[in-house]
């Protein structure tokens, strides 16, 4: 302590004798720091890199790159349309725009081309659907044979009319199949969907629309399978379509992807004008990272200026003037500028943890200046001293205590370096270094500014009461015992409430609640039939792949395992004979020359009128049709009447109908070709998969498995179980669940270690300085009580620990010890009566606490819920340690013998 006092005395003389030189050097350093920050400061967001740059999981995760090279750093566009066909139209338009915007995007992946699967499409039907297909072909054998000979629209409607007539006579519309139905099979209900689809397509074309709806899917296979909708990425039973957009890459990926995301959302807004029935948004990890980054950067800028403004107003209120608050704010600005410069120079970047350092530093860095000015106001009231002499007395009497308190705050951050967790290490280095730089500013810039612009010392009128005896708190021994008892009761209540606080690791609950990426991400999670994130494992051979898949499937925490084999049709040996039996029943389609063949409109109208007659309500009642069929019959009558009316009145109806006939035949040829190839297909192998699709599961001799969890991995217990069980099969599994588990575990451990290290270092420092075990333990009481009260308040407020606010404990360690050190340093001077707290000391502690609280509380303006919770918990903790410091410590000191007054500084 004597060495510190001697060095401080030397430095004080330099500042007092050369204030302009000190300010000039400080100004040049501040300007250089600002320029360096704006030109060199970067951001990192990778979760694993926040643990450490060379974490082994990063190298393992890099093995995934060949399997998702096309979709790495992608945006996930989610499309919710009124029907799947509208989603297809929307994504086609979006793909066209993305393809033309090479300045922002590499590509868009929204469909796996079904054409390579054409020969095996029928193998992907399940057994029930194949049985249905067989029955439909057997039932319509006559229609199929005759229609293949003359594949024309008029012939198709004529044959349908004839088949309906043959089935309706004396029947109950129970289905197209009665005789020959397999034992145990229930007859398919009579369904007019195929006729409705045909008539709707004709009607829309006659009314000038070009949308074509294939009737063949309904006729041959039922609505469970539609080749026109296959190959797209669907979720929630085709409620959502997903497209993957890859932004253009460059060295500055953060800026580029943010620009690309803005441009993508602009494209979507413009497209929604043409598709008012479509809802769409962008999510995915890259969008989440960008939205989080944008929100946090904006919020931290506002929070920093808000905390600076709030600190200034507090200083004005406490100092009752503008001059000295302006000087102290200027000193704070110098310290902040130096802090940013050193952070850029020694660290080079910010991360999602260290980004909060600026508002924190505003609240913590101003403390030393507050204590310094509070003591200066007391000392300057003594007559006979100029400002230089007053500064010497302040630095001599309070300087060591202020420096000691500041070192205590710094020591609460520097132990972050020992945790090995990169994100906390960088926060500790930046914030701890910033507190020291602000301390330097308050013992160099602030005295120099005060000497030059602070005015003359304010003299105090002669009063009967010495300045030292003006007290903020006066506790008798009885009152002190009541205070200590009340603190004990409050601590017990808070300890009970603290038992309700747990650790919530769901990252979506940390981000901005109404951010587009969060809203759509939650929608996918809530509506998907399986988890949207999974664990990946690697195998070097098909044998190893099969063995690992079987082991993973046996785990209780695993719902399913995906590999290249899961892309192949199931039960091929059983399905192939079923398809072979259909070969003689599917004839070839004769070609149609539309240039030489005209449609007989009169005959078409006649067929439609006969269909209408057969489907009258009285006929339905006589044949015992049920309500769904009655509704279909009414729709067929309405469509037929609409088509007949258009053909009879619209001048261009025949030309429009001709266009529809060409679509009708083209679609027929495509579906018939699929059908004929499907019934003669050979077994599908992994080698038959398209290169793009096979590449998702096989690259350069390595096979990939995707393991999906049975329970939500956002629950900490479920996540831990899922990761540990999969690691028991393969210790080198990778994926978002593994990264989240490793990050959350490392983060919690690092926060606990940082708190323990900070307490140990501070205790050692206090023992060395105070050389008194009692005072050392007394200095730790505000921290202990404040922490218990804070966690108890979290329980009452239903605020949980998460991946953002868990660092609150190291933050309040410094504050709690700082306030105690200031009070106990004053006690050691011998100028405090037991149970009393001088006004100047209390004023400095309260103002320092309020500015610290303001810096923490400024984080609560953040839309990012993680940073908001950090602000709330730290704000609460700061107030709790303040109350315990200014009330509990004087109460305890009330029972201790007064200290002997030290010699005054002359």
Please give the Cα distance from 46 to 50 (Å, whole number): 7
Q: For the segment 563-609, what is each residue's pLDDT rounded down to a tens digit?
A: 988 888 888 888 899 888 888 888 888 877 765 556 678 888 898 88
Torsion of CA 552, 556, 557, 560, to 10 degrees: 50
* Residue 438: HSE in the Cβ half-sphere, 13 Å Cα cutoff: 33
What pLDDT is recorded for position 185?
Answer: 45
Torsion of CA 311, 313, 314, 320, to 10 degrees: 140
Please list the residues that pair with 247 across neighbouring strands: 105
What pLDDT is recorded for position 83?
Answer: 86
What pLDDT is recorded for position 341?
Answer: 93
Phi, psi of 79 (to 5 degrees): -120, 125
Q: What whole-number percentage of the chain has pLDDT above 70?
A: 88
The mean predicted confidence, pLDDT, of the chain is: 81
What pLDDT is recorded for position 204?
Answer: 82
Please give the Cα distance from 74 to 92 (Å, whole number): 18
Over 60: is that where the pLDDT of 66 sits?
yes
What pLDDT is recorded for position 440?
Answer: 93
- Let me know the angle formed at the C-alpha of 214 by 208 and 219, rounded to the nearest 5 degrees: 140
Cβ atoms of 105 and 255 closer than 8 Å = no
27: confidence class by pLDDT, cuts 50, 70, 90: very high
* Residue 123: HSE in the Cβ half-sphere, 13 Å Cα cutoff: 23
What pTM was computed for the model?
0.69
Please give the Cα distance from 407 to 297 (Å, whole number): 29
* 682 token code pair: 């050979």
Output 73 or 537, whichever has higher pLDDT: 537
Instruction: Tell me the three-class secondary structure of 850-905, residue by residue.
Output: HHHHHHHHHHHHCCCHHHHHHHHHHHHHHHHHHHHHHHHHHHHHCCCCCCCCCCCC
Over 90: is that where the pLDDT of 371 sits?
no
* Kind plus residue range of the DSSP H or E element containing 42: strand 42-43
The count of other CB atoms within 10 Å of the CB of residue 398 is 25
Please give the Cα distance from 71 to 851 (Å, whole number): 47
The count of other CB atoms within 10 Å of the CB of residue 606 is 15
> What is the residue whose two structure tokens read 């000190």?
22
Q: For the segment 111-167, what is each residue's pLDDT rounded down to a tens digit?
A: 887 777 778 888 888 888 888 888 878 877 888 888 888 888 888 888 888 877 776
Over 50: is that where the pLDDT of 326 sits?
yes
771: confidence class by pLDDT, cuts 50, 70, 90: confident
Select from 690, 42, 40 the least CA-distant residue to 349.
42
Highest-scoring range by mean pLDDT, 216-220, 298-302, 413-417: 298-302
177: confidence class by pLDDT, cuts 50, 70, 90: very low
* 637 token code pair: 């009558």
* Residue 854: HSE in the Cβ half-sphere, 13 Å Cα cutoff: 23
Q: For the segment 682-725, what is each residue's pLDDT rounded down to a tens digit?
A: 898 888 888 777 888 888 888 999 999 988 887 788 889 999 99
Instruction: Mean pLDDT check: name the lowest of 239-243, 444-448, 676-680.
Output: 676-680
Please give the Cα distance from 222 to 219 (Å, whole number): 7
Cβ atoms of 830 and 898 closer than 8 Å = yes
396 by Cβ neighbours in 10 Å (0-12 / 13-18 / 19+) ranks as: middle
Cβ atoms of 364 and 814 closer than 8 Å = yes
Cβ atoms of 104 and 261 closer than 8 Å = no
DSSP symbols for 730-762: -TT-EEHHHHHHHHHHHHHHHHHHHHHHHHHHH
What pLDDT is recorded for position 187?
Answer: 44
3-state secondary structure of 801: strand
Output 511 or 891, whichever has higher pLDDT: 891
Highest-scoring range by mean pLDDT, 363-367, 431-435, 693-697, 755-759: 431-435
Over 60: is that where the pLDDT of 384 sits?
no
What pLDDT is recorded for position 268?
Answer: 94
What pLDDT is recorded for position 36?
Answer: 93
- CA of 469: how far to CAs of 270, 733, 824, 890, in Å? 73, 68, 16, 15
Over 90: is that where the pLDDT of 647 sits?
no
54 by Cβ neighbours in 10 Å (0-12 / 13-18 / 19+) ranks as: exposed
271: confidence class by pLDDT, cuts 50, 70, 90: very high
Average pLDDT over residues 810-834: 75
What per-residue string of b and e applies to 884-906 under the rule 16 or more CB within 10 Å gives b? bbbbbbbbbbbeeeeeeeeeeee
Q: For the segment 884-898, what is each residue's pLDDT rounded down to a tens digit?
A: 888 888 888 887 766
Average pLDDT over residues 621-635: 72
Q: For the segment 330-354, what is each residue's pLDDT rounded down to a tens digit?
A: 999 999 999 999 999 998 888 777 8
* 433 token code pair: 């270094």
182: confidence class by pLDDT, cuts 50, 70, 90: very low
Phi, psi of 839 (to 5 degrees): -60, -45
Average pLDDT over residues 503-512: 75
Over 50: is that where the pLDDT of 467 sits?
no
Please give the Cα distance from 295 to 812 (Å, whole number): 26
Over 60: is that where the pLDDT of 458 sits?
yes
């Amino acid at each position: 302590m004597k060495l510190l006092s001697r060095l401080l005395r030397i430095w004080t003389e330099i500042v007092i004798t050369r204030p302009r030189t000190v300010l000039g050097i400080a100004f040049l350093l501040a300007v250089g720091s600002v320029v360096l920050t704006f030109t060199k400061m970067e951001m990192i967001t990778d979760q694993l890199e926040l643990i450490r740059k060379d974490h082994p999981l990063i190298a393992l995760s890099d093995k995934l790159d060949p399997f998702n090279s096309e979709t790495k750093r992608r945006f996930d566009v989610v499309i919710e349309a009124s029907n799947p066909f509208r989603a297809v139209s929307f994504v086609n338009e979006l793909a066209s725009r993305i393809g033309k915007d090479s300045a922002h995007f590499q590509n868009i992946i929204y469909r796996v081309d079904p054409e390579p699967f054409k020969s095996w499409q029928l193998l992907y039907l399940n057994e029930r659907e194949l049985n249905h297909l067989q029955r439909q072909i057997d039932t319509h054998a006559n229609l199929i044979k005759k229609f293949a000979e003359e594949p024309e629209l008029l012939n198709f409607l004529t044959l349908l009319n004839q088949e309906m007539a043959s089935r309706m006579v004396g029947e109950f519309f129970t289905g197209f199949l009665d005789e020959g139905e397999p034992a145990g099979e229930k007859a398919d209900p009579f369904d007019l969907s195929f006729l409705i689809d045909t008539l709707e397509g004709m009607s829309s074309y006659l009314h000038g629309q070009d949308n074509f709806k294939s009737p063949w899917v309904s006729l041959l296979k039922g609505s469970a399978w539609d080749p026109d909708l296959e190959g797209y990425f669907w979720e929630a039973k085709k409620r959502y379509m997903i497209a993957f957009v890859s932004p253009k890459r460059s060295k500055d990926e953060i800026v580029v992807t943010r620009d690309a995301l803005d441009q993508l959302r602009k494209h979507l807004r413009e497209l929604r004008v043409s598709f008012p029935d479509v809802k769409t948004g962008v999510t995915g990890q890259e969008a989440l990272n960008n939205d989080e980054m944008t929100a946090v950067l904006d919020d931290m800028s506002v929070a920093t200026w808000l905390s600076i403004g709030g600190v200034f107003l507090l200083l004005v209120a406490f100092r009752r003037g503008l001059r000295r608050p302006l000087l102290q704010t200027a000193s704070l600005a110098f310290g902040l500028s130096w802090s940013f410069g050193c952070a850029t120079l020694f660290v080079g970047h910010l991360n999602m943890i260290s980004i909060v350092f600026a508002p924190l530093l505003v609240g913590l860095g101003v403390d030393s200046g507050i204590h310094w000015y509070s003591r200066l106001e007391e000392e300057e009231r003594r007559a006979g001293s100029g400002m230089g002499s007053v500064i010497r007395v302040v630095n001599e009497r309070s300087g060591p205590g202020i420096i000691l308190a500041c070192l205590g705050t710094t020591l609460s951050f520097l132990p972050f370096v020992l945790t090995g967790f990169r994100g906390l290490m960088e926060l500790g280095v930046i914030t701890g270094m910033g507190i020291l730089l602000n301390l330097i500013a308050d013992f160099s810039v602030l005295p120099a500014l005060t000497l030059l612009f602070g005015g003359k010392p304010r003299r105090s009128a002669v009063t009967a009461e010495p300045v030292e005896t003006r007290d903020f708190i006066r506790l008798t021994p009885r009152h002190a015992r009541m205070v200590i008892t009340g603190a004990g009761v409050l601590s017990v209540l808070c300890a009970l409430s603290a038992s309700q606080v747990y650790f919530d690791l769901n990252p979506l609950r940390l981000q901005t609640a109404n951010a587009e990426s969060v809203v759509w991400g939650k929608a996918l999670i809530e509506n998907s039939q399986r988890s949207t994130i999974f664990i990946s494992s690697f195998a070097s051979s098909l044998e190893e792949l099969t063995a690992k898949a079987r082991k993973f499937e046996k785990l209780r925490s695993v719902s399913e395992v995906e590999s290249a084999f899961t892309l192949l049709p199931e039960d091929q040996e059983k399905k192939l004979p079923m398809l072979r039996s259909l070969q003689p029943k599917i004839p070839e389609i004769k070609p149609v020359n539309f240039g030489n063949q005209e449609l007989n409109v009169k005959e078409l109208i006649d067929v439609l009128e006969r269909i209408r007659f057969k489907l009258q309500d009285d006929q339905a009642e006589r044949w015992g049709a049920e309500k769904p069929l009655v509704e279909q019959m009414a729709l067929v009558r309405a469509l037929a009447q609409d088509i007949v009316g258009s053909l009879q009145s619209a001048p261009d109806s025949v030309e429009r109908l001709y266009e529809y006939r060409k679509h009708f035949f083209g679609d027929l040829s495509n579906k018939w070709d699929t059908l004929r190839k499907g019934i003669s297909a050979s077994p599908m192998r992994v080698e038959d998969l398209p290169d793009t699709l096979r590449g998702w599961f096989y690259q350069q001799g390595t096979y990939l498995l995707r393991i999906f969890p049975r329970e939500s991995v956002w629950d900490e217990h479920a996540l831990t179980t899922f990761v540990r069980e999969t690691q028991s099969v393969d210790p080198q599994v990778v994926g978002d669940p593994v990264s989240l588990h490793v990050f959350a575990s490392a983060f919690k451990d690092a926060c606990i270690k940082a708190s323990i290290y900070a307490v140990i270092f501070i205790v050692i420092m206090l023992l060395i300085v105070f050389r008194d075990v009692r005072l050392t333990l007394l200095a730790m009481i505000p921290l202990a009580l404040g922490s218990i009260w804070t966690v108890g308040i979290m329980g009452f407020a239903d605020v949980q620990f998460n991946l953002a606010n868990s660092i609150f404990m190291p933050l309040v360690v410094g504050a709690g010890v700082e306030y105690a050190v200031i009070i106990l340093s004053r006690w050691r001077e011998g100028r405090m009566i037991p149970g009393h707290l001088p006004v100047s000391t209390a004023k400095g502690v309260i103002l320092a606490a309020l500015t610290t609280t303001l810096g923490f509380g400024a984080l609560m303006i953040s839309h990012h819920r993680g940073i908001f919770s950090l602000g709330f918990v730290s704000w609460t903790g700061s107030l709790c340690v303040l109350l315990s410091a200014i009330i509990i410590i004087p109460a305890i000191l009330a029972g201790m013998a007064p200290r002997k007054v030290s010699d005054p500084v002359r």
